[in-house]
Amino acid sequence: SLFSQLRFHTTVNELHMLPQHGLEVAFVGRSNAGKSSAINTLANHVRLAFVSKTPGRTQHINYFNLGDDRFLVDLPGYGYAQVPEAIRAHWQQLLGNYLATRPNLIGLVLIMDSRHPLKPLDVNMLDWFLPTGKPVHVLLTKSDKLTRQEQTKTLAQVRGALEQWPNCSVQLFSSLKKQGMEETETVIGNWFAQ
Ligand code: GDP
């Protein structure tokens, strides 16, 4: 499978240190939405994305190699309440510059907690990134915390809200229950194949 070859590649703190070649798909989302868990789950349980809960330590960008010059990129989470303004500003700049200017980037996986989807910062991200013309795939994580009925309802609601943007898709995902992995792999695989 696409992710079975996933290996840690490098950690980057400055934009000029980004790898020179290859294609990449980036993962981004509010802190605590389940991004690290999702990457680890897709990588088949290998503990790749370190679950660091120290805000000051999460300003870096982690690269994971899929082979054949393809990368997954773990971007800093946004929306930490307790982060000092200077660090927040640094993140925003790093993230913003990366997302707007990175030619290697072919698509964005946006992580949202399925119990709290489409928070203002998520909507900002969509508004801001989709004009690049690159696709966004939303993972509604921790779906195991919802009943079947709530899952169906949430998926329909978010899908409806996303209709205003072309190039945008959504699915349910659970790292705990391993729900949705194949669908995510198919979407990302198609991006790389184009
Ligand atoms: P990140 O900050 O976005 O990287 O979030 P983490 O992956 O570190 O997850 C944040 C918290 O949510 C942790 O306590 C995880 O154990 C929990 N979590 C993540 N994914 C799931 C999931 O699919 N189901 C459940 N029930 N909890 C999850």
Distance CA 108, CA 89 (A): 21
* Cα–ligand 1 centroid distance for 16 (angstroms): 31
Distance CA 103, CA 125 (A): 18
* Cα–ligand 1 centroid distance for 194 (angstroms): 31
Closest ligand 1 atom number to CA of residue 111: 3
> What is the tens place of the pLDDT at every residue in 104-124?
999 999 999 999 999 998 998
* Cα–ligand 1 centroid distance for 34 (angstroms): 4
Mapped onto helix, strand or coil, the DSSP state of residue 7 is strand
Q: Average of pLDDT values for 142-152?
A: 98
Q: How many CA atoms lie within 13 A of 134 on its CB side?
A: 23
Q: Average of pLDDT values for 141-147?
A: 98
Question: Shortest CA distance to 46 belongs to which of 59, 37, 58?
Answer: 37
> Between these two residues, 137 and 127, which has the higher pLDDT value?
137
* Displacement of CA 161 from its chain's centroid (Å): 19
Q: Is 47 in the pocket of ligand 1 (CB under 6 A)?
A: no
| pLDDT of the residue at 56 | 47
- Give the DSSP H or E segment for 102: none
* Cα–ligand 1 centroid distance for 90 (angstroms): 24
Are 172 and 144 within 8 A, CB to CB? no
Pairing of strands 7-12, 61-67: antiparallel
* Cα–ligand 1 centroid distance for 134 (angstroms): 27
72 bridge partner residues: 25, 64
Q: Is 59 in the pocket of ligand 1 (CB under 6 A)?
A: no
Q: Give pTM, 2 decimals.
A: 0.93
Q: What is the mean pLDDT of the chain?
A: 88
> Would you say residue 17 has pLDDT above 90?
no
> What is the tens place of the pLDDT at every residue in 168-177?
999 999 999 9
> What is the tens place of the pLDDT at every residue in 59-115?
678 899 999 999 999 998 887 766 777 777 877 787 888 898 999 999 999 999 999
Q: What is the ipTM, given to two decimal places?
A: 0.99
| pLDDT of the residue at 15 | 80
Radius of gyration of the chain (CA): 16
Name the band, by pLDDT with cuts 50, 70 and 90, for residue 51: very low
At 106, list the tokens: 């072919």
Which of 37, 54, 72, 138 is the pocket-test mutation for ligand 1 (most atoms within 8 Å of CB)?
A: 37
Closest ligand 1 atom number to CA of residue 49: 4
Ligand 1 atom 15 nearest Cα:
34
> What is the tens place of the pLDDT at every residue in 179-194?
999 999 999 999 999 8
Are 185 and 42 within 8 A, CB to CB? yes
Are 151 and 172 within 8 A, CB to CB? yes
| pLDDT of the residue at 91 | 75
